[in-house]
Structure 1
Amino acid sequence: MDTQNIIPDQSIALFVKNIMVFENKSNVETIIPFFADGYPGLLFHQTEAGLTIQPHGKKMPIIFLYGQTIKPITIDLNGPFKIIIFQFYPFVLRAFWEINPEDINDNCYDLNNRPGTKLNELITEILSSPTIQEKVIIISKFLISYFEQKRNKLDFSIKGVIQFIIDKKGTVPIKEIAKKEKLHIRTLERRFLKETGISAKQFAKIVQFQSSLTQLTTNDFREISEIVYTNGFSDQSHFIRVFKAFTGVTPHTFGKR
């Protein structure tokens, strides 16, 4: 399987964090694991046998939105495929599609539910485009149309909080963020939950986990204690507890895979 990350064009960079591409030309079974990363998104797939989300056993439409992935999942496929995922900053779903983000945590949203989307035309155009680059451009234009209509509904204050948490790798206390933003902590928590579907504390924990996961998977450490303290965990037990909550296994077991 070939994978790549595409830096979003400037026209969508305000609300798209990253574009991931997965391709396989072989007639084999493929299982792609996904863990909490803090970002909802839009997924398009071009497959011969469809795409199934496990452990839900759910066969997915060709293009769909997904919410916060908190519990670990896998994407299961058979045969050749192309998958394109647009990762959104988590303040987008409510403004663009008038979805309560919390309603689709660990779940998906079929864009066919949106009146006037012209989804069949969009899918036909994407499928008929021969290259990944062309498909990405088509989906980007689709998203730009939402941005142009809905930009006034975006909560840019929460966008700033999200970016600050990312920059600090999830280690900054939420009360410090509230002070920086000149907001009462309960006001910040309420607005953050409303716009993203998770609390600011939960998002920070996910960002912290992802930083530790990257360090673990790239073998950028000599001892587990380096991961613990580099990523701001109070001790090794705290790190193991958080890691297991998001992956289902301990760091030691995960590292053996």
Structure 2
Amino acid sequence: MKVQTLAPPSPIAAIVSHIVVLESNSVFDEAVLPLIANGYPSVTFQLTDPSRILTGEKKSYPLVLYGQNTKPIQLHAAGEIAVIAYFLYPWLLPSLFGYSASELTDQGIDLSLCGPARESNLKEQLLNSPSREDRLRLMDDYILRLSRSRKIVTDERLPYAIRTIRQHRGTLLLGDLQKELFVTERTLQRLFGETVGLTPKLYSRICQFHAALNQLGCHGFSDMTQVAFDNGYADQSHLIRAFKEFTNLSPLEYRRLAQQFPA
């Protein structure tokens, strides 16, 4: 499986944090591609062969808006695969799509039925595009049109809080953040609940886990103890518990699953 992480083009860089593209030209039996919690909602396009999917939901939507996920989203795929995910800054979700963030937590909706995506037949254009470059261009244009057609309303305390939590890889004491922002615990809870769809504590734990997951991937899942300490876990067993919570798998099971994907 070829996986690339791309920086968004400058016109949408204030909306999109990063873009992930997964591709495989191999014909193989059904596989499950997990979208692991990373603290970002996403607009995701998936191209696959539904006739080869036996255990998953056959009625899958090619173009989906996902809110925050606390459990892995399972994409059942087979045949030629293309997945393009645009990860959005969390504080923009309600302004861009008109949903309360809590409505979309651990949920996905068929985006092809909504607003500009429906009006431009985005799903059909993506499905009929001959190349990855064409699909990326269509997605870029969609995000840009959407941002220009919406009034972005953001409490500036929230972007600061989210960036600070991510910079500290989820280990920042929330009491310190509240003091820095001059807000109460209840106010911070409300800001996150309405706009992010998660509590500040859960969002921090997701950021902490994702930082550890990235480090494990870079080191081939070796030295779990050091990775645990580097990312604020008391010991290796606490990291393994977090791993099972957010992936439903042990680190070894996750690594084995990843190795099954064809190149």
**Contact 1:216/1:227 (<8 A) preserved:** yes
Alignment match, 1:126: 126
**Contact 2:63/2:112 (<8 A) preserved:** no
Write the mapping of 1:18-37 to structure 2, written as runs, cut at 5 A.
Answer: 18-29=18-29, 30-37=31-38
Q: Tell me the amino acid that sits aligned with residue 190 of structure 1.
A: R
What residue ranges of structure 2 are gaps of 5+ in the alignment? 258-263
Shift of 1:48: 3.5
Distance 1:256 1:117 in 2: 37
Distance 2:162 2:9 in 1: 20
Alignment match, 2:155: 155
Q: Name the SS for the 1:183 alignment partner.
A: coil
CA displacement, residues 179-218 of structure 1 (integer Å, 9 cap, x when unaligned): 2222222211211111011011111100100111122223
Q: Answer with 234-243 or 102-111: which moved more.
A: 234-243
Write the mapping of 1:219-230 to structure 2, written as runs, cut at 5 A.
Answer: 219=219, 223-230=223-230
TM-score between both structures, scaled by the size of structure 2: 0.86
Distance 1:221 1:124 in 2: 40
* 2:19 is equivalent to residue 16 of structure 1: no
Alignment match, 2:260: none
* 2:43 is equivalent to residue 42 of structure 1: yes
Alignment match, 2:92: 92
- After superposition, the Cα gap between the structure-2 partners of 1:117 and 1:7, relative to the gap in structure 1 and judged at 3 Å, is closer
CA-based RMSD: 2.5
Give the percent of matched residue pairs that are identical in Structure 1 and Structure 2: 28
Q: Answer with 177-186 or 225-234: which moved more.
A: 177-186
Q: Answer with 225-234 or 245-254: which moved more.
A: 245-254
CA displacement, residues 4-35 of structure 1 (integer Å, 9 cap, x when unaligned): 11111122122211111111222213331222
Task: Count the aligned residue pairs.
Answer: 255
Shift of 1:242: 1.8
- After superposition, the Cα gap between the structure-2 partners of 1:105 and 1:12, relative to the gap in structure 1 and judged at 3 Å, is same
Q: Name the SS for the 1:249 alignment partner.
A: coil
- After superposition, the Cα gap between the structure-2 partners of 1:125 and 1:113, relative to the gap in structure 1 and judged at 3 Å, is closer
Q: Tell me the amino acid that sits aligned with residue 33 of structure 2.
A: I
Alignment match, 2:261: none
Distance 1:11 1:139 in 2: 12
Q: Tell me the amino acid that sits aligned with residue 154 of structure 1.
A: T
Distance 2:181 2:209 in 1: 24
TM-score between both structures, scaled by the size of structure 1: 0.88
**Contact 2:33/2:75 (<8 A) preserved:** yes
Alignment match, 1:7: 7
**Contact 1:50/1:59 (<8 A) preserved:** no
Distance 2:52 2:88 in 1: 21
Q: Answer with 202-211 or 82-91: which moved more.
A: 82-91
Distance 1:32 1:107 in 2: 17
Q: Answer with 6-15 or 152-161: which moved more.
A: 152-161
